[in-house]
Amino acid sequence: MGWFSLEELLVSYMPPRKDFAKWIAVVGGILLFVAGINGVIVWETLKSFITDLTGSNPLIEGLFFVFILFATFGGISVIIGGLLLGKERIVLGKILIFLGAGLISLGAILTLIPIIFGASENTEGMGGLLPFGAVGLLLAFLSLLIVKDYKPNCARCNKRIPPDSIFCPYCGKKGTIGRK
């Protein structure tokens, strides 16, 4: 029996990075959804403030509609993004995770600032299960870190190939990106 390094041991027992990131993102999204944390109130307030200053502008209202949509369904967006990571849609999955978790966290931070400084006691939109939401946000961002520099392997020759390739540049196999 030979000696193994810790890295060899972990690599042999851990799932592939994209699958690991997928499940971390799905669990994080479920925690965000259950906790009910969103930044909708902050985004609605910011939208009304900006539209009061600039007047009714369809571009600004459309942009805030997207922000509010992702802030409302942030947990679901993180879940869908995580599932896309497992389906080799790495870029789209990362975008959905970032939009969902990013807008929730920015909205939560903007909600917490007045509470911390004693200017407000309104915690509406923060949810009653704040610790679950905080863990969910951490898991969502952790999944982004895991797939930060992910590059898929070809199923036939097991060499790294560009993520946007349809054919393996080494063996010419079609549609085998990332599968073993």
Q: What is the mean pLDDT of the chain?
A: 76
DSSP secondary structure of 54-73: H---HHHHHHHHHHHHHHHT
141-146 average pLDDT score: 88
Whose CA is closest to 154, among 171, 139, 135, 137? Answer: 171
Q: Is pLDDT of 178 > 70?
A: no
Choose from 4-13, 38-47, 142-151 the range with maximum mean pLDDT. 142-151
pLDDT digits (tens, 9 = 90+) for 77-97: 899 999 998 887 888 888 999
pLDDT at 136: 86
DSSP 171: T
pLDDT at 80: 93
Q: State in Å, rounded, how far the first CA of the chain is from the last one.
A: 28
Share of the chain above pLDDT 90, in %: 8
pTM, rounded to two decimals: 0.67
Report residue 81 as tokens.
Answer: 């993004």
DSSP 122: -
pLDDT at 128: 55
Q: Is pLDDT of 25 > 80?
A: yes
DSSP secondary structure of 11-65: HHHSPPHHHHHHHHHHHHHHHHHHHT---HHHHHHHHHHHHHHH---HHHHHHHH
Domain ranges of the chain: 15-146, 150-180
pLDDT at 176: 45
Sign of CA dihedral 84, 85, 87, 89: positive
